[in-house]
Amino acid sequence: MDVVFPVLHGTFGEDGTVQGLLKLADVPFVGAGVLGSAVGMDKDVMKRLLRDAGLPTVRFLVFERSSLEDVNFERVTQALGLPVFIKPANLGSSVGIHKVKDGNEFERAVKDAFRYDNKILVEEAIQGREIECAVLGNDNPIASLPGEIMPRHEFYSYEAKYLDDKGAVLEIPAKLPDEVVKQIQEIAARAFKVLCCEGMARVDFFLRHDREVIVNEINTIPGFTKISMYPKMWEASGVSYTELIDRLIQLAIERFKREKKLKTSFS
């Protein structure tokens, strides 16, 4: 085996566990290492690091199962307004995510989110466009032209992503003024570094009032079919699918060689 290209999603696939296994097996692999993968998977840690770096993020609160009594509809909506989004901290594909507009929905959504994780996030709902940007590289990552997702459902839910063929319209590249494109690319590359990513990642944004750029999340193993956003955004930026794969493999080998040079014991 020369290189492993993990095209896996969710728990055990992109949360650092498979990446740890590959490190132990001493095999080069594509994409974020153990830390970047784990950080990218945990929406709480991810958003705290982004916020700490001064990058624009959504306002959010975190609740753990052990402090369930703190989850109070009045207090939460006082802080974040309505509607709010409720989501499990570690997951993806919009599983367990709910947009909540009243107290009843709130109770149900909190219960459902806790089915998937011991930690949940409540976020202010952002009204605006959903823009994504592909990032490629190790130390000096580059960002693609952004693309836009226009969900045909209330939000980009599991149904809109996977069950409904017409669940969303994709526009690549997104129709945006040059200065907004530049701002998104800069923030995407900074988020990639701040979140300890390597190789590839897709950074997802909200664009409020057509100018305020807010980071929603990072995906360390973005969808990778020929029609997925990550390869499509690179294609629109002049990097073909085959060239993209070549570059990612090259980056994996480079990272592996660099890490090999490090001293890992005192013997």
**The dihedral sign for the CA sequence 132, 184, 13, 108:** negative
As measured in angstroms, the least distance from the Cβ of 153 to ligand ADP is 9
Q: Which of the residues 191 through 230 are near ligand ADP (CB under 6 A)?
A: 204, 216-217
> Contact region for ligand ADP (CB under 6 A) — 14-22, 92-100, 195-203, 245-253?
92-100
**Residue 125 in contact with ligand ADP, rule: CB under 6 A:** yes
DSSP string, 154-204: SSS-HIIIII-TTSEEEESS----HHHHHHHHHHHHHHHHHTT--EEEEEE
3 state DSSP class of 30: coil
Q: Read off the tokens for 142.
A: 């580059």
Q: Are 234 and 136 within 8 A, CB to CB? A: yes
**Cα angle for residues 213, 226, 215 (degrees, 5° grid):** 15
**Residue 256 in contact with ligand ADP, rule: CB under 6 A:** no
Question: For ligand ADP, what does the binding mask look like between residues 148 and 167, x meaning CB under 6 A?
Answer: ---x---xx-----------
As measured in angstroms, the least distance from the Cβ of 106 to ligand ADP is 15
Alpha-helical (H) ranges within 217-262 are 229-236, 241-260
> Contact region for ligand ADP (CB under 6 A) — 8-16, 88-96, 106-114, 240-248?
88-96
**Residue 116 in contact with ligand ADP, rule: CB under 6 A:** no
Applying CB under 6 A, the residues found at the interface with ligand ADP are 58, 85, 87, 92-94, 97, 123, 125-126, 130, 151, 155-156, 204, 216-217
